[in-house]
Amino acid sequence: MATTPPSQFAAILRRSKFASFDPNIGQVYTTFDGHAARGNFGLKRPLALRRRNAHITVQAIDSREQQTVWRSAEPQNRWIRMWDETGTTPTIIEGSWQARLGPHGEFRFKVDSDLVPQEEDSKSQEKDEEGQVPISNATRNMSAMSNKEFEWYLRRIRELRPAFREFLNKKYPPKDDESELDRSLLSRSLRSSTNDVKEFLAHRAYLEYREPRPRHIEQQPHRYAGLNYTRSPPLQTQLNTKAHVGRVLGDEPYKNHVLVATVGMTSEFKVERFEDDAPAVSTFRFSEVVLSAAPATVGEKPEGLEGVKMRTTLRESSEESRATKNNPHHPGSKAYITHPAATTPTLAMARPVDTAVYKGEMTRSEASRYLLRTLRIITPTGESR
């Protein structure tokens, strides 16, 4: 009796590299090697996209029509690759992204170097002196709770009344002439502001996240919204990256600014006026990058590059612009070290000129001796004849 061959589903599942899929999370998928030639992206069925370095976003693995809904993500992939080549990090955080970061956006990147003295954390000392408590902005979002979750949250908040009373007593020490009624939690809560309640909840969240065995993970959004995972100082960017090519749009500046198309976006370039022979294509570097909004990659409709709001300012970094500097060579190179100074002091600059020559107060013999002395200084050292 013939036996049924075992199903290949288990083997296919083991070799599959597609772990999970959530349509509410915006992700970009790609595949490599022979899988790309067969259109295998680890989905339920192969796609009609069979080339290398292909990137897609998936809306549904299996629609009602039994099709995989996807679209190309090449613009996003190309822009991210072009931005990585510039090696630039945002210099200013503002707008809605700054509001989402909160105090996390104020943290500065510290460099551990033998050449830089260690900086003391003065902020923590100031907080202790002012009597403030550590807080966490990753508190519960009551607007996103269901009715059942909100009722459970209220019951838990009511259990924290003794802790809230202790919190108010530390922040506002009771006076000796206060009555028992004035010291009650109701009267204290009426006299305190709403910020006290928010500060108390933020402090409780801080304590929960830092328990020995925490049950929750504190949300810490990335300062640059994932645009750069390495912070490159301007000097490092100048030395390790190349300037990018840009095209000037227009021939007349508006408010001392012109638009330049570079790195898949338009940037501002400060210029007072254009020369007639100024090239339309040159190389630039970013001098200022302002990140105002980041895409909401998690939601019913995940956003991509269309959710980014960023303003950039350029400076020219071409051979012509470097030629006008005192030392146009690459810093640290042999040509940079051996380049002579821009203004070499001459004998005439080092030796004061006798103003009597221009006033006609010298006789002919004195003028002759002055001329001979000057010629001896100019000529090479040797025996005088």
In a domain, 1, yes or no: no
Please tell me which residue, 92 or 143, carries the higher pLDDT value.
92
Count of CB atoms situated within 10 Å of the CB of 370: 14
Do 158 and 169 sit in the same domain of this protein? yes
Do 208 and 246 sit in the same domain of this protein? no
Question: Is 186's pLDDT higher than 70?
Answer: no
Do 215 and 241 sit in the same domain of this protein? no
pLDDT (0 to 100) of residue 378: 59
Do 250 and 285 sit in the same domain of this protein? yes
Question: Is 23's pLDDT higher than 90?
Answer: no
Question: Is 345's pLDDT higher than 70?
Answer: no
Do 94 and 65 sit in the same domain of this protein? no
In a domain, 18, yes or no: yes
Instruction: Out of 190, 221, 252, pick the residue that ends a domain.
Output: 221
Do 229 and 321 sit in the same domain of this protein? yes
Do 228 and 280 sit in the same domain of this protein? yes
Tens of pLDDT, residue by residue over 251-267, are 777 788 889 999 989 99
In a domain, 205, yes or no: yes
Please tell me which residue, 226 or 326, carries the higher pLDDT value.
226
CB 293 within 8 A of CB 308: yes
Assign 124 a pLDDT band (cuts: 50, 70, 90): very low
pLDDT > 90 fraction of the chain, expressed in percent and rounded: 17
Of the candidates 83, 30, 70, 80, the residue with the CA atom closest to the CA atom of residue 52: 30
In a domain, 264, yes or no: yes
Do 135 and 214 sit in the same domain of this protein? yes
Do 302 and 211 sit in the same domain of this protein? no
In a domain, 117, yes or no: no
Please tell me which residue, 158 or 110, carries the higher pLDDT value.
158
Overall domain count for the chain: 4
pLDDT > 70 fraction of the chain, expressed in percent and rounded: 72
pLDDT (0 to 100) of residue 127: 45
Do 271 and 359 sit in the same domain of this protein? no
pLDDT (0 to 100) of residue 189: 64
Instruction: Out of 191, 221, 251, pick the residue that ends a domain.
Output: 221
In a domain, 79, yes or no: no
The mean predicted confidence, pLDDT, of the chain is 78
Tens of pLDDT, residue by residue over 313-325, are 999 888 777 777 7
Question: Is 210's pLDDT higher than 90?
Answer: no
Do 249 and 374 sit in the same domain of this protein? no
CB 92 within 8 A of CB 288: yes
Q: Mean pLDDT throughout 239-250?
A: 88
Do 354 and 290 sit in the same domain of this protein? no
Number of H helices, E strands in the chain: 15, 9
Tens of pLDDT, residue by residue over 129-150, are 455 788 887 788 787 788 999 9
Instruction: Out of 168, 203, 221, pick the residue that ends a domain.
Output: 221
pLDDT (0 to 100) of residue 161: 87
Q: Give the residue numbers spanning the domain of 300.
A: 88-107+223-328
In a domain, 236, yes or no: yes
CB 35 within 8 A of CB 41: yes
In a domain, 305, yes or no: yes
Question: Which segments within 295-360 are labelled E, that is strand?
Answer: 309-316
Assign 291 a pLDDT band (cuts: 50, 70, 90): very high
pLDDT (0 to 100) of residue 266: 92
